[in-house]
Amino acid sequence: MSVVPVDRLHQTPAVGQVTLSRNGFHADRTDYEGCYVAESHSVDSAALRSDFKTNMQNIVNEKPYEFVPPHRGTWWPNFIQRFDLYGRWLRKSEGVVSYELRNTERLKESLEAGHGIMLAPNHCRPGDPLVLGWLARHVGTHVYGMASWHLFNQGWFTAWAIRKMGGFSVYREGVDRQAINTAIEILETAERPLVLFPEGAVSRTNDRLHALLDGVAFIARTAAKRRAKHTAEGSVVVHPVGIKYLFRGDLANVADEVLTDIERRFSWLPQRHLSVYDRIVKLGRGLLCLKEIEHFGQEQSGRFADRVTGLIDRLLQPLEEEWVGRAQTGSVVPRVKALRMKLLPDMVNGELTEDERQRRWQQLADIYLAQQVSCYPSDYLARPSVDRLLETLERYEEDLTDKVRVHGSLHVIIQVGEAIDVSPNRDRKAKVDPLMARIERDLQSMLDQLAEESPLYHSPLPK
C-alpha cells in the first residue's frame, strides 16, 4: 500500500498578483547578484552559478537513461503499510500530523469490480505520493506509480525505497516507451491501481490545477483497448483524487520568522509595520523586479499577468529561434519539453566541448526558470486564506534557500472522486480530449469545494 514519489520537480504555484515561482527564483543563483552588489554585499557569482548547476543536475541529468522497473513483490509494501512508515516520514519531513479520508467507497467499488484503476491526484506538495499510502492502506491494496528518473539518481536509498514502494522510472526529456508500456500493462491487467499525477510536477498551489498532461489519457485509452480484447469483465476507470492540506498552527508566528529572514536577505529591515499579506506582496514585487532587471535591464510596467508572459517569452523565444527554427507562444510546458529534447541528446552522449556544455547548462537554467514562472496564477491571493499564504511563504523560502522549514500542524484531506469510465476510442472532432477535460473538471471542482474549508486569514493590527 505504498505510493511513489512520482515527481519532485521544483515547480511552484502562484501567488496573487505579485510573485513568480518558487524555484523560478532560485533557478539561477545569480538572481540576486545585482541586488546584493548594490547593497554592498560580497557575492561570489561563480559560486552562485555552481550552486545552480548542482541544483539543476538534480532534475535534468546528463547520465544516459536506464529504465527502472517496479518491484512486483508485496513484502516490503506490507511492511511499510503495517508500520505506517509513510506516516512517520510525512510527520518528520512535511509536517503532516493527521489525515482524513473521504468517499473511499468509490475506490473500493472499482477494486471489487476488477477494473484497471488509475488514480489521478492533484500534486501540490512533495509528500503527496506518500499521503496516498493512507488511502491505499484503507482500501486494502498496493499501488504502482511513475517516478521521474532524476529521483532515482538522488542516492541509493531513495532509489531503493521508491522501487520497493512500487515506483518505476519515467524519462521526461523524451519518449519513454518502456515506462508507457509498463503503465499500460498495469492498467490492462488490473494488477494494482496506478498513480499518475496529471500535472506532472509539484505546484504548491493546492487550490488551483496547472495544465494537465495528455499522456494520461493516452495511457488509459490504450489500456482500455487492450483490456477489451481479452476480457469482458471490468474496464479501465480513472478516479480523480483531491488532496487538500489545512494548516492548524499559528500562521502569525510562522510568517514572521520566515518573512523576517527573507527581508534580511534583501538587506531590508523587518517589515513588521505591515500586515502578513502586505509583507508577502511586497516581497513578491521585489522578486519579480529583480528578475526583470536581470533579463530586461529594467523593471517592466503593465499588468502582472502580462509581465509574467513577457518574462517567459524573453527567456524562451531566443532559444526557440536557435533550436526549433522560430519563436513560439502559448502553453509553456510543451515549449519547455521541445527545447530540452533538442538540448539534451548531445549532452548525454558526451559529444560536446566543455564550453558548449556550459552554454547549454545556462540555457537549461533559463528554460527551467521560464517553466517555474509560468506556474503562478496572478489572482491566487485574491482569496487570502491561511493555507494560500503559507504556500506562498514556503515558495519564497525555497526560492532563496532551496529548503523549506517544517512547520508541522498540517492536516490532509484525501477525497476520492467518482469513477470515470475510459472509452477505448477518442472523439477526434473534439478540440480537447474529453477524458482530460472530465478529469480536470472533476478534480478542480473537488479542489474548489475543499478550498472553502481553508479559513481566511485575518491579520492582527500591526504593533
pLDDT at 323 over 80: yes
pLDDT at 294 over 90: yes
In a domain, 460, yes or no: no
When mean pLDDT is compared across 61-65, 95-99, 154-158, 276-280, the lowest value belongs to 61-65
The domain total for the chain is: 1
The distance from CA 405 to its chain's CA centroid, rounded to whole angstroms, is: 18
Q: What is the pLDDT of residues 356-376, one digit of tens each?
A: 999 999 999 999 889 878 877
Q: Which amino acid is at 33?
A: E
pLDDT in the model for residue 59: 62
When mean pLDDT is compared across 10-24, 170-184, 399-413, the lowest value belongs to 10-24
Element (H, E) at 291: helix 276-296
Span 336-340, mean pLDDT?
90
pLDDT in the model for residue 211: 84
Find the distance separating the first CA and the last CA of the chain, reported in whole Å: 50
pLDDT in the model for residue 288: 87
pLDDT at 61 over 50: yes
Span 10-17, mean pLDDT?
31
pLDDT at 50 over 60: no
- How high is the mean pLDDT of the chain? 84
In a domain, 414, yes or no: yes
pLDDT at 95 over 50: yes
Span 406-430, mean pLDDT?
93
pLDDT in the model for residue 359: 96
When mean pLDDT is compared across 116-130, 223-237, 250-264, the lowest value belongs to 223-237
Range of the domain at 400: 1-454
Element (H, E) at 412: strand 410-416
In a domain, 111, yes or no: yes
State how far the Cα of 177 lies from the Cα of 168, in Å rounded to an integer. 13
In a domain, 383, yes or no: yes
In a domain, 461, yes or no: no
Q: Please give the share of the chain, as a percent, with pLDDT higher than 90.
A: 63
Give the pLDDT band of residue 203 (cuts 50, 70, 90). confident
pLDDT in the model for residue 58: 61
In a domain, 462, yes or no: no
Strand segments (E) across 85-201 = 96-102, 116-121, 144-148, 167-170, 194-195
Give the pLDDT band of residue 343 (cuts 50, 70, 90). very high
Measured in degrees and rounded to the nearest 5, phi and psi for residue 242 equal -90, 125
Span 201-219, mean pLDDT?
90
Q: What is the pLDDT of residues 217-249, one digit of tens each?
A: 999 999 999 999 887 777 999 999 999 999 999
pLDDT at 11 over 70: no
pTM: 0.84
State how far the Cα of 5 lies from the Cα of 131, in Å rounded to an integer. 10
In a domain, 208, yes or no: yes
In a domain, 230, yes or no: yes
pLDDT at 24 over 60: no
19-42 as b/e: b if 16+ CB within 10 A: bbbbbbbbbbbbbbbebbeeeeee
